[in-house]
Chains A and B, each alone.
Chain A
């Protein structure tokens, strides 16, 4: 059984839903046009994952194997609808910007994947942490890809921060290139695919560097 620290590190890095498992690509590619859009959907997905993992783990004693998938789907759909209503009420502008991708969180394979692979077989505490870690990992993907696409596509960072953080955040935008003409490819889905590929390559490069450095630590120092 996984330890708490393993669960966290897996969700954030080694088994990251976006960079490693390649799940949830539909919202990942469509919504990551800016940092704020990516962060908004990432937080909504994180809340869904924590709530659904916790619920599935709580009811795991009562769910018979033959009805577990319909039950999981019902739980996830109810949670996502509740989150959608909350966003419509309290983050209305962001809700309008994200549009159809909020209810589409239901179709994100990583949510039902974690319910089936982890939450239905582990304690509530571990399941909740797994939901938090996987959700944070997915949000990390969305924010990184969003930052890449926003910088290349619009020349800014944190544009429209008030959608998520309220009126006080209106001047958080960092304009990196004044009067930027825009790079259309970065704004469209094919550019998102390319950007994701670059980020995955970057992660693999970091992993390889780390694994090359690690054995060297155990070698005796040569004189």
Chain B
């Protein structure tokens, strides 16, 4: 009896020793890579933001002084959201909002929406999605330029924000209607919010 107990204790000690060794390896790998990983993620965020607001349109560093707001869950994920303000000569000229369309065909679709000070869409880009390749994935700028049809639009233009199948103005994608519908709805909700919350977003007087 005592022998099996000793065996069990030895096994447990061995297992614990391997766990410590494994953790040590991971701690080492983490310390060797975490700075570069953080750099990579910053570079990726900048690259995504610059797709919306190309470098000539503003003169501040977009990643400096981002703002935190809690956007409504009708078009954003629960929890605080990071908003980037573009300025020229100290005055805010545009804002980039993270928008999420919750009801895509295969889950939520994340976008970045660039709005100018007077509520006009500068550009929208899909940053993360799980839509079907060849069908819903046309929303990705790498697959097609479907998403560029929103540039220059605003809350009143068009009056009716819907896909053509629902009697509206926006092209849907061949074989995929649920995906475009979700994006149109989310962008419209974001524009409506921006129209009534200009102060919160652009916070004039706060340079």
Footprint of A on B, CB under 8 Å? 7, 10-11, 14-15, 18-19, 22-23, 25-26, 29-30, 32-34, 36-37, 40, 43-44, 132-135
Contact = CB atoms under 8 A, between A and B. Distances in A.
23 contacts: A64-B7, A64-B11, A66-B11, A67-B11, A67-B15, A70-B15, A71-B15, A74-B18, A74-B19, A75-B18, A78-B22, A78-B23, A85-B29, A85-B30, A85-B32, A85-B34, A88-B40, A89-B33, A89-B36, A92-B43, A184-B134, A188-B132, A188-B133
Contacts of A88: 33, 37, 40
A64 B34 CA distance: 35
If over half of A's interface residues share one DSSP class (helix, strand or loop), that class is named, otherwise mixed; here it is helix
Closest 9 pairs between A and B when the two form their complex, measured CB to CB: A78-B22, A89-B33, A92-B40, A89-B36, A82-B29, A184-B134, A85-B33, A85-B29, A67-B11
Number of chain A interface residues as a range:
20 to 34
B14 A64 contact: yes
B29 A92 contact: no
A83 to B, nearest CB: 9
A78 B25 contact: yes
If over half of B's interface residues share one DSSP class (helix, strand or loop), that class is named, otherwise mixed; here it is helix
A78 to B, nearest CB: 4
Contacts of A184: 133-135
A182 interface: yes
Interface in A168-186: 182, 184
Contacts of B34: 85
Given A85-B34, A89-B37, A184-B133, 8 more contacts: A64-B10, A67-B15, A70-B15, A85-B29, A88-B40, A89-B33, A90-B36, A92-B40
Contacts of A187: 133-134
Contacts of A81: 26, 29
A71 B20 CA distance: 12
B29 A86 contact: yes
Given A88-B40, A89-B40, A187-B134, A62 B14 contact: yes
Nearest to B41: A92
